[in-house]
Structure 1
Amino acid sequence: MTVRDTTAPHPTRRLVLATGAAALAAPGLARAQARFPDRPIQLVVPWPAGGSADVQLRSIGDIAARALGQPVVIQNRPGAGGTLGPLSVAQQARPDGHTLTQMHLSVLRRPWMMRTPGWDPVADFTHIIGMTGWLFGCAVKADSRFRTWQDMIAFARANPGRLTFTTSGIGTTNHLAMESIQEKDGVQLTHVPYRGSNEAVTAVLGGQVDMVCDSSTWAPFVENNQMRALSVWTAERVPRFATVPTLKELGYDLVVTSPYGVSGPKGMDEGVVRVLHDVMRDALMTPENAEVRNRFDMPLVYQDTQTYRAFIAERVEYEKAMVRRLNLSLDG
């Protein structure tokens, strides 16, 4: 990560100074904003290192650091279906803009799976920017007995509970998609959750689990013939996996991309939010970050702050309703 010489005024700091100067009623706040950021920024990624979101957000951090004049340090904090990291930011971080987290759909869904919700996805965070989503799909080891999706379903139908699949956690978007698939086909698979897609792929390659159904960490292994993709979950086929059918082609009314963004703890100053939004938006639009997203077939799903906040509020209501409809619970 690049650390800029901070002895000379930086354009980002001049922007904050101008924003603060306009708020004549709050000169103390203006002085505080003028110093942002005054130390490294920590970006909590709630998955193990090496997965697609981790690589994409590391790229965002590297590029944003050049504009901010401070490093953006990635901290991997996996656990609890990808919600441990965001929850730690909501509950422990100061709202000064120096601690941020990836915001994804499991954070919006999981509290409603508890008898007593542990957090409010709208009120307990300051949502900053929407960025991208994932390419999801299912893949097996190259020497698997399953050459097609239909082979896998036929085996599952004849052998209830015997076929194992892995996702990045109970209650994650990809886990719920697989539950919907099993419900539609009347089959029973055994779910073996891991903390992240890279660990899930390792488990499949090692023969501990039959199939990974997760984000595209499996893609390079499909390309080098160590794995075989059985489905992708996009609206259209993915060009580099042109022979792999979508779920819609396989008869499921499902398109799953699970858009995500970046948020901070509640109570952040809107001037600081503007600075962070602008540098992350600019980083997102660079050819450097586009190359990372293209590597993992991650769609661009940019949303500015107000649009992203509206999306979060609307999606929370959708997730609540889905949890109730499927009778999902983490309480046993």
Structure 2
Amino acid sequence: MLRVMRGMLCVAALLAFGAAEAAFPDKPIVLIVPFAAGGPADVMARTMAKSMGTRLGQPIVVENRPGAGGLVGISAVTRATADGYTLGMAGTGAMVYAPFISPKMPFDPLKDVTYLTTMVSTPNLLVVNANSPFKSVADLMAAAKREPDKYTVASAGVGSSTHVVGALLQREAGIKLCHVPYKGGAPAVQDLIGGQVDMFIAEVPAVAHLIKAGKLRGLMLTDSKRLPALPEVPTAADVGLPKVLAAGAYGIVAPHGLPSDVSAKIVEAATAALRTPEVVEKFAEQGGIAQASTSDAYRNQIKSEQGRWGPIIKAAGITAE
């Protein structure tokens, strides 16, 4: 009788376990966004969270944890339980650039997270003040070659994507600019408008509205295709710098060890959301291009980008402050 009872208990436990697995999700999910509330990345994250939550049948609550170029937020994701109830919005800075810049990485981007899917790509723009004498990249390059280190290029901080892409531009253009780091993209843009710096390489969402308003001039898009929202801005290839390709890429990750069935449900919901007109249009308003991928493709993309940017960062001597 004892053996029978034990057998029944084991069967009951297995059935309960299976039911619990099948029930995912049965409570709200948290999406950690490692950027400040109100910015373009946050807007896109909340749009995605709402659409995915509808498909999963549970709300996805956005929790902003900015700091250290995204490392603070993603670190929190890596420490969470791998049950699907904590997700993260990972950016290029933390996953690709930081391993070569930060002397004390709090996690390994290739080992400590489960990659789920890419979410959105945001190309970069080389911009100048609307009153700048530089009407084109050719103007800028000619002036910078005549007087190396005279002209200033702002960044959102040492080791930021804007800093790294600026280093790539200088290498490919054969010029030397004076780097001026700021504590974030917003103050850099303000000083560019005010004439305190000569140029800035920013993600499209941060400056597109200012170009349309006539406060800034777009000289080059670091992408292979022109943006429908800014058709007058030439691509890197258009201006003779075809290797200056860079985009801010954001995707969805979870703690390492996420069960495959839970991962599949989240990826399915995310992929469906990224195909809806509402999400595509909202991303486009922020200068982003919606794009889904498989989990393996996302991880391979990060690995490939690390291989591409590592040598550029090392050659430029970029290190965290």
Cα 1:224–1:81 shift into 2, 3 Å: same
Q: After superposition, where does 1:46-61 map in structure 2 within 5 Å? A: 46-61=34-49
Is the Cα contact below 8 Å between 1:167 and 1:212 reproduced in 2? yes
1:129 aligned partner, one-letter code: T
Is the Cα contact below 8 Å between 1:105 and 1:172 reproduced in 2? no
2: CA distance, partners of 1:37 / 1:241: 40
Secondary structure in 2 matching 1:264: strand
2: CA distance, partners of 1:288 / 1:219: 20
- The residue number in structure 2 matching 1:82 is 70
Q: CA deviation at 1:323?
A: 4.1
2: CA distance, partners of 1:206 / 1:93: 43
How many pairs were matched up?
306
Is the Cα contact below 8 Å between 1:48 and 1:198 reproduced in 2? no
Q: Summarize deviations over 1:257-312 as a string: whole Å, max 9, x none.
A: 24331101112122211111111111111000110222244234321123223333
1:150 aligned partner, one-letter code: A
Could you tell me which runs of 5 or more consecutive residues in structure 1 were left unpaired when the two chains were aligned: 1-23
Match among 153, 162, 171 for residue 174 of structure 1: 162
- The residue number in structure 2 matching 1:204 is 192
1:103 aligns with 2:93: no
Q: After superposition, where does 1:57-68 map in structure 2 within 5 Å? A: 57-68=45-56
Q: Summarize deviations over 1:160-198 as a string: whole Å, max 9, x none.
A: 545333334433343222112223422222232333x45
Is the Cα contact below 8 Å between 2:168 and 2:312 reproduced in 1? no
- The residue number in structure 2 matching 1:163 is 151
- The residue number in structure 2 matching 1:237 is 226
2: CA distance, partners of 1:108 / 1:26: 41
2:274 aligned partner, one-letter code: L
Is the Cα contact below 8 Å between 2:167 and 2:316 reproduced in 1? no
TM-score normalised by L of structure 1: 0.80
Q: CA deviation at 1:27?
A: 4.6
Q: Summarize deviations over 1:18-45 as a string: whole Å, max 9, x none.
A: xxxxxx9965543432443333222222
Is the Cα contact below 8 Å between 1:50 and 1:198 reproduced in 2? no
Stretch of structure 1 that moved more, 291-300 or 28-37 = 28-37
2: CA distance, partners of 1:72 / 1:126: 18
- The residue number in structure 2 matching 1:248 is 237
Cα 1:264–1:218 shift into 2, 3 Å: same
Is the Cα contact below 8 Å between 1:94 and 1:265 reproduced in 2? yes
- The residue number in structure 2 matching 1:288 is 278
2: CA distance, partners of 1:228 / 1:85: 33
1:64 aligned partner, one-letter code: M
Would you identify which runs of 4 or more consecutive aligned residues in structure 1 move more than 6 Å? none
- The residue number in structure 2 matching 1:9 is none
1: CA distance, partners of 2:196 / 2:19: 56
Q: Summarize deviations over 1:123-154 as a string: whole Å, max 9, x none.
A: 11011111221121022333334333334344
Is the Cα contact below 8 Å between 1:166 and 1:200 reproduced in 2? yes
1:266 aligned partner, one-letter code: H
2:179 aligned partner, one-letter code: T
Could you tell me which runs of 5 or more consecutive residues in structure 2 were left unpaired when the two chains were aligned: 1-11
- The residue number in structure 2 matching 1:266 is 256
- The residue number in structure 1 matching 2:18 is 30
Cα 1:85–1:167 shift into 2, 3 Å: farther
1:303 aligns with 2:293: yes
Q: Summarize deviations over 1:197-240 as a string: whole Å, max 9, x none.
A: 45543443355544331111211111122222121111133334
TM-score normalised by L of structure 2: 0.83
Cα 1:202–1:76 shift into 2, 3 Å: farther
Flag the structure with larger Rg.
2
